[in-house]
């Protein structure tokens, strides 16, 4: 499950650029122009050890990645042609942005550079002439600044950055229910504070984990907005969403996000409505949504290694990707009576930018009733950009 929880800091743009003094005038022109639309974030003078420790987290936490490719070295391409290339450090930061699946990119390229690193040259980009900038060609600079502004504004408007300032997620709880035949239900209870009178939608997403059976997909998944969970939730594919409070707000409809919907994942917007027309700033909304599917989880230990799942694993797992701070987040794992465990569930927390493990949570509260054995993890405050991976081993 992915949450999509945003605050005003998500208007940041990380800028990858040269630190050479000879490039300062060119770089400053672009950065100063970007400041009219974004909060500019960039690294200090780079050192190799800092890429993983400092730079990758900054790239990850910024919703927009900008690169200014300036000439650094001369090189020869595969055909023996002489070409200009930029700094290896900038190419490394481009690689980090690509690996982090950054979708919103602003690209400026000095005329004569043919190597874009891992960037496809099909991306929209603005090329620039260094000599005309350095010679203070006013006509050229005026047009270039206009192009920069239009380009930056198009990225801002076409992304969901404006929407991200409209609410803040405060608390949440994720419940996983695993049945002895591998059927699964995941449901979420989220509280948000509305920060803008223009708020009307919230992005959510869900996906199959690597421990799902390999023949299971989310193609043609039945999506429905209803006030109650479908009884089919115990045996098939279902989805529902509803507002728990206040009573005058409800979920009106959903919209599929095509670029985030694939065979194993679905992204969508939930649209909220109220009897009074607009949802006023300061409103606290608590809502829930749930999805279920067959074959989500293994139910025998040998399935982890016998190629029946999407990936061979040591443990079954369910991942919660938390993109911003939570004041409080709880995880509850329910196993149907009869589902045998070799190792009880535990949670590993990873830094979403570096994939380094930062904590392990064991010894959850345990309860049992007629239908389920229940494990409760009270995680409390969770920092932004964390992956909480629930793991267990069936018998």
- Residue 276 CB neighbours (<10 A): 9
Q: Is 53 exposed, middle or buried (0-12, 13-18, 19+ CB in 10 A)?
A: exposed
Pairing relationship of beta strands 73-76 and 64-69 according to DSSP bridges: unpaired
Q: Which fold has domain 8-162?
A: Rossmann fold (3.40.50)
Q: Which helix (H) or strand (E) holds 328?
A: strand 326-336
> Token pair for residue 60?
């990850």
Residue 149, preceding peptide bond in cis (omega within 30° of 0): no
SS3 131: helix
> Token pair for residue 368?
């049992």
SS3 70: coil
Q: Within the chain, where are the H helices?
A: 24-34, 50, 56-61, 88-99, 130-134, 138-158, 161-164
> Token pair for residue 364?
């959850």
Q: Predicted confidence band at 311 (pLDDT cuts at 50, 70, 90)?
A: very high
CATH 3.40.50.360 residue spans of the chain: 8-162
Helices (H) and strands (E) in the chain, counts: 7, 21
Closest residue by Cα to residue 63 from 141, 191, 158, 169: 158
User: The whole model's pTM is what?
Assistant: 0.63
Closest residue by Cα to residue 393 from 305, 299, 321: 299
Residue 214 pLDDT > 60, yes or no?
yes
Average pLDDT over residues 295-324: 93
Q: What's the full length of the chain, in residues?
A: 395
CATH 2.60.40 residue spans of the chain: 166-394
Residue 376 pLDDT > 90, yes or no?
yes
| Beta partners for residue 147, in sequence order | none
Q: Predicted confidence band at 6 (pLDDT cuts at 50, 70, 90)?
A: very low
- Residue predicted with more confidence, 281 or 102: 281
Right CATH for 166-394 from 2.60.40, 1.10.1300, 2.30.29, 1.10.8: 2.60.40
d(CA 288, CA 71): 52
Average pLDDT over residues 364-391: 92
- Least confident residue range of 30-34, 164-168, 363-367: 164-168
d(CA 219, CA 265): 9
Cβ–Cβ under 8 Å, residues 364 and 375: yes
Residue 44 pLDDT > 70, yes or no?
no
């Amino acid at each position: 499950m992915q949450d999509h929880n945003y605050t005003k800091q998500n208007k940041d743009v990380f800028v990858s650029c040269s630190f050479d003094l000879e490039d300062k005038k060119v770089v400053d022109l672009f950065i100063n122009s970007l400041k009219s639309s974004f909060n500019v974030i960039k690294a200090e003078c780079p050192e190799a050890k800092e890429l993983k420790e400092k730079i990758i987290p900054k790239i990850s936490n910024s919703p927009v990645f900008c690169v200014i490719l300036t000439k650094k070295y001369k090189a020869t391409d595969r055909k023996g042609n002489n070409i200009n290339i930029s700094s290896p450090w900038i190419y490394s930061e481009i690689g980090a942005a690509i690996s982090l699946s950054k979708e919103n990119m602003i690209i400026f390229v000095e005329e004569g550079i043919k190597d874009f690193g891992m960037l496809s040259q099909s991306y929209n980009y603005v090329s620039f002439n260094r000599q005309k900038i350095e010679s203070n060609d006013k006509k050229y600079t005026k047009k270039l600044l206009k192009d920069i502004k239009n380009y930056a504004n198009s990225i801002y408007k076409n992304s969901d950055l404006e929407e991200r300032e409209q609410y803040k997620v405060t608390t949440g709880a994720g419940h996983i229910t695993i049945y002895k035949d591998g059927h699964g239900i995941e449901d979420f209870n989220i509280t948000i504070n509305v920060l803008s009178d223009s708020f009307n939608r919230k992005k959510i997403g869900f996906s199959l984990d690597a421990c799902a059976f390999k023949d299971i997909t989310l193609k043609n998944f039945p999506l429905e907005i209803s006030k109650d969970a479908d009884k089919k939730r115990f045996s098939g594919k279902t989805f529902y969403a509803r507002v728990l409070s206040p009573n005058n707000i409800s979920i009106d409809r959903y919209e599929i996000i095509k670029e985030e919907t694939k065979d194993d994942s679905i992204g969508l917007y939930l649209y909220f409505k109220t009897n009074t027309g607009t949802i006023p700033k300061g409103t606290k909304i608590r809502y829930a949504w749930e999805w279920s599917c067959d074959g989500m989880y293994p139910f025998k230990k040998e399935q982890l290694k016998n190629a029946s799942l999407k990936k061979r694993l040591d443990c079954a797992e369910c991942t919660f990707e938390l993109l911003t701070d939570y004041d409080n987040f709880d995880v509850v794992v329910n196993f149907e009576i009869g589902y045998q465990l070799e190792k009880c569930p535990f949670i590993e927390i990873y830094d979403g930018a570096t994939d380094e493990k930062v904590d392990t949570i064991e010894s959850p509260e345990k309860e049992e009733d007629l239908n389920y054995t229940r494990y409760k993890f009270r995680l409390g405050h969770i920092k932004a950009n964390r992956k909480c991976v629930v793991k267990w081993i069936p018998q």
